[in-house]
Amino acid sequence: MLLLQDVHTYYGESHILKGISSEIKKGELVTLLGRNGAGKTTTLRSIMGIVPPKQGRITLDGINIRGQKPHSIASLGVGYVPEERMIFPSLTVLENLSLPSKGSRGGLWDLEKIYQYFPVLGERKNQKGSQLSGGEQQMLAIARILTMDLKLMLLDEPTEGLAPLLVREIGSILKEIRKTGITILLVEQNTRFATGVSDKHCILYNGQIVYEGSNEEFKTDQEVQKRYLGVSS
């Protein structure tokens, strides 16, 4: 589904991603872990074309997307939910959900299905985005890109600042999304949350991938968790 080969990305003269390579299979939920400043968000922005890599190759279903504009990458079925969520605060929930499908082929998730999995959005459909809680805004941001003809979802810190109950709800929703065949690349700081939803983990350290392993391998490797994430049992 997604292949990164020797990707180098810069912010000005600052070399952020230093030759990362990884492969994500169709239908997998993969987590990017790492401390602040490791390059996790930059990886998502590089895939999305927001910060184009200066070197390397990024392919989606065999199509080279490095160098393409974000809207062109989105049209291939890539949806991005940034940490800031970026909903339209002056529009209602329904208006936010209606925007992505204009001019696109539309996805498998219609409004009925979205309200089934996100009932709070149905209850708040006539409220403006600015009137929603942080957790409700996160659900709206995720639901909005599900109306696309989506293949790959890029999620940046979806549980940041949310209460434990909402974190569990987001986890349940991601599991349901994965069942529909959508591939998910998740940036996350909450290791416990990540191990509850993911198939595989990649750890970024100083702009390089220093570890890749299955969920079970990662959970039992206490030395890796302590060395790169500061997590202790």
pLDDT in tens, 112-142: 889 998 999 999 999 999 999 888 999 999 9
Would you say residue 43 lies in a domain? yes
Would you say residue 170 lies in a domain? no
Question: For position 57, which CATH number holds?
Answer: 3.40.50.300
Alpha carbon distance 41, 16 (integer Å): 10
Confidence band of 102 (pLDDT split at 50, 70, 90):
very low
For residue 19 the two structure tokens come to 């030759």
Nearest to 185 by CA among 56, 85, 41: 41
Residue 131 parent element (H or E): none
pLDDT at 152 over 50: yes
pLDDT at 55 over 90: yes
How do residues 157-183 score in pLDDT, each as one tens digit? 998 888 888 899 899 989 988 888 899
pLDDT for the residue numbered 103:
41
Q: Are 214 and 44 in contact (CB under 8 A)?
A: no
Would you say residue 97 lies in a domain? no
For residue 221 the two structure tokens come to 């490797």
Q: Which domain holds residue 43?
A: 1-77+151-161+183-233
Would you say residue 93 lies in a domain? no
CA angle 46, 52, 55 (to 5 degrees): 95
Would you say residue 17 lies in a domain? yes
Would you say residue 41 lies in a domain? yes
Alpha carbon distance 228, 210 (integer Å): 9
Confidence band of 109 (pLDDT split at 50, 70, 90):
confident
Confidence band of 149 (pLDDT split at 50, 70, 90):
confident
Spatial neighbors of 57 by CB under 8 A, at least 6 apart, are 3, 4, 5, 6, 7, 64, 66
Would you say residue 94 lies in a domain? no
Q: How many domains does the chain have?
A: 1
Would you say residue 112 lies in a domain? no
Place of tokens 């529009």: 91
3-state secondary structure of 176: helix
Q: Are 227 and 206 in contact (CB under 8 A)?
A: no
pLDDT for the residue numbered 13:
92
Confidence band of 232 (pLDDT split at 50, 70, 90):
low
Confidence band of 94 (pLDDT split at 50, 70, 90):
very high
pLDDT for the residue numbered 80:
94
